[in-house]
Amino acid sequence: MTDIPRWVLPSLLASSFLCTLISYLAFAFGVFIIVQNLYYIPIIIACIYYGWRGLFLSIFLAISYLALFASFTPDPVLLQEAMIRVIFFSIVAGVITTLSQVRESTEQQLRESEDRYRNVVEDQTEFICRFLPDGTTVFVNEAYCQYFGLERDQILGKRFKPMIHPDDREMVAQAFASLTQENPTIMINHRIILSDGSVRWQRWSDRAIFDSAGTVIELQSVGRDITEQKEAERALQESELFNRTLIEHLPDYVILYDPDGRIQYCNPSTAATLGYPIDEVIGAHIFSFVPEECHDRVWKKLAERSRGRKVSPYEIRIINKSGTLLTVLVQGAAMKYKDSLSTLLVLTDITERKVAEELQREAFSQIEENMYRLSILNDQIRNPLAVINGLVDLEPGPHADQILHQIKEINRIITLLDLGVLESESIRTFMRKHNQFSEPDLHSSEYFEI
């Protein structure tokens, strides 16, 4: 029950006493009408403010009235009328008491609902405020006060307005000006400047409350700080810009394709090398740029990747618009792209390296051939020298000593050549070990996937 005003009890006692006194005096002078209406005053007061206790008091007053009435007249007709009045008093008291209890219960439920609503509002981490069209604040929750570092009394009843960033003020003003009965809510993001000079981002949901004439009578705003979210978005945008700039300026060929092998993205280097505009490359199948002899290898690598296996880098050839074949080293990784699983490929052009390796292999083969021919030539030279040496021994002449001397000199040179061949073989073995001059096998399992 709500607190009873202090004037109620004195008024109830005084009215009850006066009713009894006036009734006594009226009955003493033979007046039995009108005075009974005075009893409604204490009955109504008692039933409204004291509930069921007031009903008992009202019944007591009615019975007192009947007893007092009977003490002054034995007339059965008048007594019957008095009894009817007592019954009517009781009925009125019961109705008033019931209505009072219903009102009291309704008010109690309303108070409890208001308390629950206030507790919910106060416990919110969002900032909640209500203000009049002239900017006067009529309500703020605790989160709002704590965020701005102010007490509630410093805000309520005043035109408190956070300092909006100069670049956002016009946008905020236009947003509030757009509120109508047809569109009473808006959602805006803007920056504010706090008292310490720091700039924070906020997101507000604002609602205008209109009267029946369509005039704004109050506005309600619910907001929260989104600075961290904005900073994360900015960092993500910067990271995306950095990565895109990096990829688009890479000399390597970057390709992204879907599970069906359709190209979803390629960097400018890829399109320039293939000789097609980017929009023609995107949407094409990767096999459009792979020669037929490499198709089996590519399908094998695609199958391995689809089964979740790790695929090592490998070499394949690709073909551009002019029909030129290029050798590339392919590395790939699975990634999410537009909510679907895709494959990212990085192709490094190793065509020049392959040409250089081929030239090295050819030079190496030529060296081996020369070494082989030189070793045969040495034997072919020694055999005639041996014959000449034998003839000189059989038929010595005046020039025999000079001939033998030249034979020894030629043998010395051939011996040096033999030593050079042996050293060349050692060098050749070393080069074979540390330089892969063997012919490339495109069907080797060491090649990478696409």
Domain boundary among 67, 92, 120: 120
- What is the DSSP code string of 301-331? HHHHHHTT-----EEEEEE-TT--EEEEEEE
* 231, 261, 281 - which closes a domain: 231
Cα gap 165→161, rounded to integer Å: 12
Q: Is the pLDDT of residue 121 over 90?
A: no
The Cα-based distances of 202 to 131, 194, 411 in angstroms read 18, 12, 97
- Rounded to whole angstroms, how far apart are CA atoms 444 and 435? 18
**Statement to judge: residues 109 and 47 lie in one domain:** yes
Residue 26 makes CB contacts below 8 A (sequence gap 6+) with 32, 34, 35
Residue 447 lies in a domain: no
Examine the domain organization and report whether 335 and 418 are in the same domain.
no
pLDDT value of position 1: 52
285/283 Cα distance (integer angstroms): 7
Asked if the structure places residue 260 within a domain, the reply is yes
Q: Are residues 13 and 107 in the same domain?
A: yes
Is the domain of 334 the same as that of 389?
no
pLDDT in tens, 323-371: 999 999 998 888 888 778 888 899 999 888 888 877 777 777 777 776 6
Among 333, 301, 337, 338, smallest CA distance to 316 is for 301
110/146 same-domain check = no
Please state, for a pLDDT cut of 70, what percent of the chain lies above it.
83
Domain-located, residue 83: yes
Same domain, yes or no, for 251 and 341? yes
Which of 352, 380, 401 is the last residue before a domain boundary? 352
Distances 262 to 283, 296, 331, 385, 392 between C-alpha atoms, Å? 5, 17, 17, 73, 84
Report the CATH number at residue 255.
Answer: 3.30.450.20
- Residue 2 domain-assigned (yes or no): no
Same domain assignment for residues 375 and 331? no
| C-alpha triplet 269, 274, 280: angle, nearest 5° | 95
Write the burial class of residue 199 (CB in 10 Å: 0-12 exposed, 13-18 middle, 19+ buried).
exposed
147 and 48 assigned to the same domain: no
Per-residue pLDDT tens for 135-153?
999 988 888 888 898 998 9
Q: Domain span at residue 428?
A: 356-434
Residue 1 lies in a domain: no
CB 192 within 8 A of CB 172: no
How far is residue 288's CA from residue 290's CA, in Å, rounded to a whole number? Answer: 6
> Does 267 lie in the same domain as 218?
no
Domain assignment present for residue 188? The answer is: yes
Residue at 265 is within a domain: yes
271's tokens: 């399109």
Give me the number of domains the chain comprises.
4
Q: In the numeric block, which tokens belong to residue 249?
A: 């300026």
Specify whether 376 is located in the same domain as 346.
no
| Pair 300, 392 in one domain | no
Q: Which two tokens stand for residue 115?
A: 């308390």
pLDDT at residue 375, rounded to an integer: 67
Q: Assess whether 316 and 411 both reside in one domain.
A: no
What residues contact 397, with CB distance under 8 A and at least 6 apart? none
**pLDDT tens for residues 304-332?**
877 778 888 898 999 999 999 999 999 88
| Within a domain: 236 | no
Is residue 45 within a helix (H) or strand (E), and if so which, with residue range?
helix 40-72
What number is the average pLDDT over the span 163-182?
A: 92
